[in-house]
Amino acid sequence: MSSNMHANRERSQGMAASAPSATVRSIRAQIRDDIVTLRLRPGTRLSENELALRFGTSRAPVREALIRLVEEGLIEVQPQRGSFVSRISLASMQRARFVREALEIAIVRRAAERGLSSAAQEKITAALADQENAQADPEHFTLADDAFHRAIADDIGIALIWSVLEREKSQFDRIRFLSLPVRTPVEALIAQHKEILKGVLGQNPDEAEAAMRVHLSEVLKITEQLAAEHPDLIVNDV
């Protein structure tokens, strides 16, 4: 082997050794985001080998990430065929909304009772500004939307509550993304966030709860219409 080839090989091995390996958590998060934002559409086959190459890791963490996404209802395994992105289930979406409503109402009531820290208020203000600037960009708008809700959840002093919410709301998120910005007016969502914040900052749990109920019911207005328009994406199994 020539000295140049040897040096190139050493550099290549060094880069491979120093490159950070994707974790199950990061792989799951990226695939979940791809599914929710429809970069991976329902019916898409997911290859463990291709995903391992994409994330620069072995098949084991990819397989574990896919198992977690199966548990969330985002992926289905078909015997003898493989793993596929599932269609959006309206029944699962309704369950997710039920769980999310219970948790989010408890969160805003607690936040209103305790008050928000200055750090949380800064994050919320930034999230609202990001939403204003991303009204025509569903992906960035939903990221800002999540940042708003997460800032409140993280501030109430209950560890990992946002992780529970994120896991439960996957199907809800897919409908929410599909509805933007045409079916669900983003101006209405921003106004609803401001009403929620008003109740929390005013330390009025009842007002915060009422505003949250209005906000979470928004997606119900368009689910059946979306299901009729996108039978390739949504299964009406309610």
For helices 59-71 and 48-55, angle between their N-to-C axes, nearest 10 degrees: 110
CA–CA dist 131, 140 (Å, integer): 8
The yes-or-no verdict on residue 11 having pLDDT over 80 is no
Residue 163 CB-density burial (10 A; 0-12 exposed, 13-18 middle, 19+ buried): exposed
pLDDT of residue 22: 79
pLDDT tens figures, 45-62: 999 999 999 999 999 999
**Please, are residues 107 and 200 in contact by the beta-carbon 8 Å criterion?**
no
CA–CA dist 174, 229 (Å, integer): 15
pLDDT of residue 141: 93
Q: How confident is the model at residue 21 (pLDDT cuts 50, 70, 90)?
A: low
CATH 1.10.10.10 domain position(s) in the chain:
3-85
CA–CA dist 202, 115 (Å, integer): 8
CATH of domain 3-85: 1.10.10.10
pLDDT tens figures, 187-222: 999 999 999 999 999 999 999 999 999 999 988 888
pLDDT tens figures, 22-33: 799 999 999 999
CATH 1.20.120.530 domain position(s) in the chain:
88-235
Residue 84 CB-density burial (10 A; 0-12 exposed, 13-18 middle, 19+ buried): middle
Q: Return the CA Rg of the chain.
A: 21
Shortest CA distance to 187 belongs to which of 232, 132, 148?
A: 132
Q: Is 104 helix (H, G, I), strand (E, B) or coil?
A: helix
**Cβ neighbours, 10 Å, residue 102:** 11
The residue with tokens 């966030």 is: 193
What topology is assigned to 88-235 in CATH? Four Helix Bundle (Hemerythrin (Met), subunit A) (1.20.120)
CA–CA dist 162, 168 (Å, integer): 10
Residue 204 CB-density burial (10 A; 0-12 exposed, 13-18 middle, 19+ buried): middle
